[in-house]
């Protein structure tokens, strides 16, 4: 067999990238928590009908992009293409509508869409996202949009445009759709074939079309924001006002209908002006006041967003976490002290909570010392030396070369002192407080 590769449109995160990803998610998680959101985890696959109904039969996601399959029991299943319908499904299934409203949930999960891969677009991508269920108050829209803005701030992402639009509701949208349909029908000759179909199935989807001639036609089309009913108008105006009140600068974009059918009223996207390619939307979402009812729950308004980790990672200002080795590397000097080295490493990690490694491939003592240096360890703990007193281990500071013999029973105290000094002198990657360097060095140098 030729060497296996990851499937098209997927990627591996190697350790440095995985650690940076974890840092980004941890920052988002802290912000979610500070706004009172709690994490939810739902299955990687759901019944296909959930997405067909929730996301919408006429959307590209449902028509062309789902990874759907029958399982061995004949169930029709789909790998989750997006996070909102599953969260709403869980909300209904677990009776969360009985909880204090709004119910605030966040998630971090992979999404699967059979799209044409390109820069910033994958077949498996990860999103962090949030959903607030149970209130149609415009404060919810503003709070969630501002929360995502804060996450981006904390990730040091600059140069963003906040685009917003309103999709209206069941009162005003049907009449607008007829108006739009009439307009599109009159311009049918100028539209691409797909938009011809969309005119019939779901005219709003025409706004997603990237074909230049279609876009030209649409710049003349009637706009939903100009045809909102009074309650939708007031709702949207309040959202805009609240966003400005907290220092955001929403820009109206009449094309922002988003690729999912469940939206009502507010839609929004944060677009990065730093990404030099088409996929510049790093996060987006909106209000979906009909979705929970559509999938069988009680009427429940909702608002949320999803943000793509791959794109966020490209623009995040955070530095990559430094590669850190273990604090200690245990070196065995005699073939029959390998088990002692292993047991000592285990004692360090488990009982003393000191990051430690020992040789696992049968290196010579010299090669182990070399590996200790290469690993980034600050200390080597030497065992199996002829001149060592029984029950003692020799600790060598790998920077200064200073050595000291320490009784095994006192190793915990020794590390406490050393780590205390570490904090003052800046040995690097470990914590503690107090002073005194048991090796008598200069306090660890200049890291
Ligand atoms: P979405 O706009 O389809 O919305 O996806 C949200 C974000 O995920 C996008 O803004 C983008 O950053 C990222 N994304 C989407 N598709 C891909 C892809 N193929 N490759 C890489 N990144 C991608 C939703 O999924 C809604 N569930 C958001 C929402 C939550 N609305 C209300 N609540």
Contact 262, 84 (CB under 8 A): yes
Task: Note if the bond before 204 is cis, omega within 30 degrees.
Answer: no
Predicted confidence at residue 438, as pLDDT, reads: 42
Query: Tell me: the pLDDT tens digits for 252-279?
Result: 999 999 889 999 999 999 999 988 777 7
CA angle 126, 132, 137 (to 5 degrees): 140
- Whose CA is closest to atom 9 on ligand 1? 283
Query: Tell me: the pLDDT tens digits for 214-252?
Result: 999 999 999 999 999 999 999 999 999 999 999 999 999
Find the DSSP H helices in 160-229: 173-186, 193-201, 212-218
Distance CA 288, CA 175 (A): 19
Rounding to the nearest 10 degrees, give the CA dihedral for residues 94, 100, 104, 107: -20
Pocket test for ligand 1, best of 157, 284, 309 (most atoms within 8 A of CB): 284
Residues 142-155, mean pLDDT to the nearest whole number:
98
Distance CA 123, CA 129 (A): 18
Question: What is the percentage of the chain residues whose pLDDT exceeds 90?
Answer: 85
Cα(81) to ligand 1 centroid in Å equals: 9
For the chain, the structural domain boundaries read: 15-172+228-315, 328-421
Contact 303, 288 (CB under 8 A): yes
Lowest mean pLDDT among 174-188, 331-345, 430-444: 430-444
- pLDDT-derived band at 424 (thresholds 50, 70, 90) equals low
Question: What is the percentage of the chain residues whose pLDDT exceeds 70?
Answer: 94
Distance CA 33, CA 27 (A): 10
Task: Select the more confidently predicted residue: 376 or 321.
Answer: 376
Rounding to the nearest 10 degrees, give the CA dihedral for residues 144, 149, 153, 155: 70
Which of 3.90.1170.50, 3.30.930.10, 3.30.70.3270, 3.50.50.60 is the CATH number of 15-172+228-315? 3.30.930.10
Regarding pTM above 0.85, the answer is yes
Query: Tell me: the pLDDT tens digits for 296-314?
Result: 999 999 999 999 999 999 9
* pLDDT at residue 379 greater than cutoff 60: yes
Q: How far is CA 442 from CA 281, 377, 435, in A?
A: 51, 18, 12
Cα(85) to ligand 1 centroid in Å equals: 13
What number does the ligand 1 atom closest to the CA of 311 have? 12
Distance CA 29, CA 17 (A): 18
* pLDDT at residue 445 greater than cutoff 80: no
Contact 284, 306 (CB under 8 A): yes
Rounding to the nearest 10 degrees, give the CA dihedral for residues 272, 79, 202, 199: 80
Predicted confidence at residue 428, as pLDDT, reads: 46
What number does the ligand 1 atom closest to the CA of 269 have? 10
- Can you say how many angstroms the Cα of residue 342 is from the centroid of all Cα atoms in its chain? 37
Residue 335 DSSP class: G
The pLDDT mean for the chain works out to: 92
- Can you say how many angstroms the Cα of residue 348 is from the centroid of all Cα atoms in its chain? 34
Q: Is the CB of 264 under 6 A from ligand 1?
A: no
- Whose CA is closest to atom 15 on ligand 1? 308
Task: Tell me if the domain spanning 328-421 has CATH number 3.40.50.800.
Answer: yes
Q: Is the CB of 124 under 6 A from ligand 1?
A: no
Distance CA 182, CA 184 (A): 6
- pLDDT-derived band at 430 (thresholds 50, 70, 90) equals very low
Q: Is the CB of 307 under 6 A from ligand 1?
A: yes
User: Same CATH topology for 15-172+228-315 and 328-421?
Assistant: no
Contact 271, 284 (CB under 8 A): no
Distance CA 420, CA 403 (A): 18
Helix, strand or coil, per DSSP, at residue 320: coil
CA neighbor of 402 nearest in space, from 427, 367, 424: 427
Task: Select the more confidently predicted residue: 320 or 60.
Answer: 60
Query: Tell me: the pLDDT tens digits for 70-91?
Result: 999 999 999 999 999 999 999 9
């Amino acid at each position: 067999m030729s060497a296996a590769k990851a499937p098209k449109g997927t990627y591996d995160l190697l350790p440095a990238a995985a650690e940076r990803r974890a840092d980004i998610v941890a920052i988002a998680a802290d912000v979610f928590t500070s706004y009172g959101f709690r994490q939810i985890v739902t299955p990687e696959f759901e019944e296909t009908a959930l997405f067909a109904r929730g996301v919408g039969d006429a959307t590209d996601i449902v028509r062309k992009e789902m990874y759907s399959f029958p399982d061995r029991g004949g169930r029709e299943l789909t790998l989750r293409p997006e996070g909102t319908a599953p969260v709403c499904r869980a909300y209904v299934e677990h009776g969360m509508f009985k909880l204090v409203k709004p119910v605030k949930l966040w998630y971090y999960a992979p999404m699967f869409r059979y799209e044409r891969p390109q820069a910033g677009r994958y077949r498996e991508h990860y999103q962090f996202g949030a959903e607030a269920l149970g209130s149609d108050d415009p404060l919810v829209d503003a709070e969630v949009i501002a929360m995502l803005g804060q996450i981006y701030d904390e990730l040091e992402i600059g140069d963003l445009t906040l685009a917003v639009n309103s999709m209206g509701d069941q009162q005003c949208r049907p009449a607008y759709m007829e108006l739009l349909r009439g307009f599109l029908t009159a311009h049918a000759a100028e539209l691409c074939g797909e938009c011809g179909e969309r005119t019939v199935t779901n005219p709003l989807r025409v706004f997603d079309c990237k074909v230049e001639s279609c876009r030209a036609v649409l710049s003349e089309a009637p706009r939903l924001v100009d045809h909102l009913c009074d309650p939708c108008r007031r709702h949207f105006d309040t959202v805009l006002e609240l966003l400005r009140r907290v220092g955001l600068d929403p820009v109206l974009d009449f094309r922002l209908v988003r690729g999912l059918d469940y939206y009502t009223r507010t839609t929004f996207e944060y677009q990065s002006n730093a990404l030099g390619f088409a996929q510049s939307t790093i996060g987006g979402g909106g209000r979906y006041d009909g979705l929970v009812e559509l999938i069988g729950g009680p009427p429940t308004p909702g608002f949320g967003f999803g943000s793509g980790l791959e794109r966020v990672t490209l623009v995040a200002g955070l530095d990559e976490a430094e590669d850190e080795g273990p604090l200690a590397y245990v070196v065995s000097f005699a073939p029959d002290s390998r088990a002692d080295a292993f047991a000592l490493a285990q004692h360090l990690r488990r009982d003393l909570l000191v990051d430690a490694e020992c040789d696992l491939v049968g290196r010579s003592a010299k090669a182990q010392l070399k590996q200790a240096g290469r690993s980034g360890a600050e200390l080597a703990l030497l065992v199996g030396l002829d001149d060592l007193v029984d029950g003692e281990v020799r600790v060598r500071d790998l920077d200064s070369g200073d050595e000291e013999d320490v009784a095994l029973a006192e190793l915990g105290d020794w590390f406490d002192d050393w780590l205390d000094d570490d904090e003052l002198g800046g040995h690097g990657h470990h914590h503690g407080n107090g002073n005194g360097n048991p090796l008598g060095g200069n306090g660890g140098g200049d890291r």
